[in-house]
Amino acid sequence: MSINSLESITAYSGELDKLFTQKSVTGFFADNAMGAKFVGAKTVKIPDIDFQGLADYDRDTGFSKGAITVANTAYTMQMDRARSLQIDREDLDEAGIAQLAGSILGEYVRTKVVPECDAYVISKLAGLAMTRSNTVTGNIEKPFETLCSLIEKVQEQVGYDEELVAFIDSCMYAKLQNSTELSRMLTVSDFKQGDINLSVKSLNGVALIPVVSQRMQTAYTFVTDNVGGFTPAANAREVYMMVCPKNGAHLVKKTEKMRIFTPEQNLDADAYKFDYRIYYDVFVKKSGLDGIWAWVSPAITVSTQPANKSVTAGSISGNLSVSASTVSGSTLTYQWYRCDADGKNAVKVNGATAASMALDTSLEKGSYYYFVKITVDGLASLCSGVACVTVG
């Protein structure tokens, strides 16, 4: 069995980088220049320089003295994520290893790596906007007006000669598509992302990038144990729209760490082993913090979670309920689901569309699990905790 590991690592890493660039909605941030400063380092200090403005020249005293303020800002990479994948020797022959490995690794990057990176980048940028109160309150029935307002807010900060991008939640993008004002002003323009030229819809030169709702949250929990993956944080809000300069953030990513082991080299199993590691983060320089503006969903506050219940088969009564609230002027709707103990494999409970759900009186002995999805204004939603109904 022979395999040139060095050439394979180089080839796979290069192709995975290209795939990342093609599929990631935030991949263009990697084109910005800060990445080179992190070569061989986890933290770098980059100076932010501030000057005083011009003053009048005095013919007696001459020039007015001005101060130069240099503040060194430390940028530290936080996201160090990895996974080891194996392909059993019996699943392929020597000639097929390259093709199958390429397909598996490519699918892994497309379905796991890219969504996580996009979610992290968007949540961090939206979090910065919220921290600095760079947010607007929009009308969900008039998304075009809100988009124009966000663009105006950013242009007030960075000027009119900067190339801007607008990340738009998929549901809100669908509403925009039905806007008669927008349809008359949309054009198709070229959008450069790495070495790839994409065609995107744009509004007055601002690229409009639709993003699935799962990647448009203000905060996530990135699972650290063997299960892996990421989920919206309990206090997350949906990002309806976010506008920033194309060069307003810097995505530093290092995907060079790809190790390949043959079955002979793999001490754990008779299988080909692929160790994939991505070390990345996104940074915004101090001078660009006010160039990011967002429209986020109203906050949903859950004051009472559904409580566990113990009932007796044949005489089941009672209900599960949740108490939730949101900002004035917004409306909450509810949908209950039956699920596994971990909240997965959820199935809608027909007719259970209120804050309270009557228990099914036909349940037999056993344990049953439920949660409720709470939606604000028909768009953004969060899920309650899982409640267990034990039937004895």
More confidently predicted of 59 and 321: 321
Lookup result for tokens 């506008």:
243
Q: Is 107 helix (H, G, I), strand (E, B) or coil?
A: helix
Distance from C-alpha of 193 to C-alpha of 260, rounded to nearest angstrom:
29
**Per-residue pLDDT tens over the stretch 45-90:** 877 777 788 889 888 888 888 888 777 788 888 999 988 888 887 7
Residue range 193-203: average pLDDT? 71
- Interatomic CA distance for residues 55 and 67, integer angstroms: 12
- Asked if residue 165 has pLDDT above 90, the reply is yes
**Other Cβ atoms closer than 10 A to 383:** 18
Average pLDDT, the chain: 86
What is the distance between the alpha carbons of residues 248 and 266, in angstroms, rounded to a whole number?
44
Which range (71-85, 248-262, 294-308) has the least confidence? 248-262
Nearest to 117 by CA among 235, 287, 255, 248: 255
Would you give the DSSP letter of residue 64?
Answer: P
- Angle separating helix axes 114-131 and 5-23, nearest 10 degrees: 50
Task: Considering only residues 162 and 9, tell me which one the structure prediction assigns the higher pLDDT.
Answer: 162
Please report the DSSP string for 340-380 in residue order: -TTS-S-EE-TT--SSEEEPPTT--SEEEEEEEEEEETTTE
Residues contacting residue 344 through CB under 8 Å, at least 6 positions apart: none
CA pair distance 294, 238, nearest whole angstrom? 10
At 116, is the secondary structure helix, strand, or coil? helix
**pLDDT exceeds cutoff 60 at 7:** no
With H, G, I as helix, E, B as strand and everything else as coil, classify residue 2: coil
Q: How far is Cα 207 from Cα 200, in angstroms, rounded to an integer? A: 6
Which candidate, 241, 176, 239, places its Cα nearest to that of 380?
239
Phi, psi of 180 (to 5 degrees): -65, -30
Is a pLDDT exceeding 70 seen at residue 250? yes
In which residue are the tokens 């349809």 written? 183
Element (H or E) spanning 295, and its range? strand 293-296
Distance CA 264, CA 272 (A): 9
Alpha-carbon distance of 124 to 54, in angstroms, equals: 36
- 374-389 confidence digits (pLDDT tens): 999 999 999 999 999 9
Calpha distance 230→213 (Å, rounded): 14
Q: Report pLDDT digits (tens) over 120-129.
A: 999 999 999 9
pLDDT above 90: residue 176: no
Note the pTM of the prediction, 2 decimals. 0.84
Using the predicted structure, report yes or no on whether residue 307 has a pLDDT greater than 70. yes
Among residues of the chain, what percentage have pLDDT more than 70?
A: 88
pLDDT at 87: 80
Residue 6 has pLDDT above 50, yes or no: no
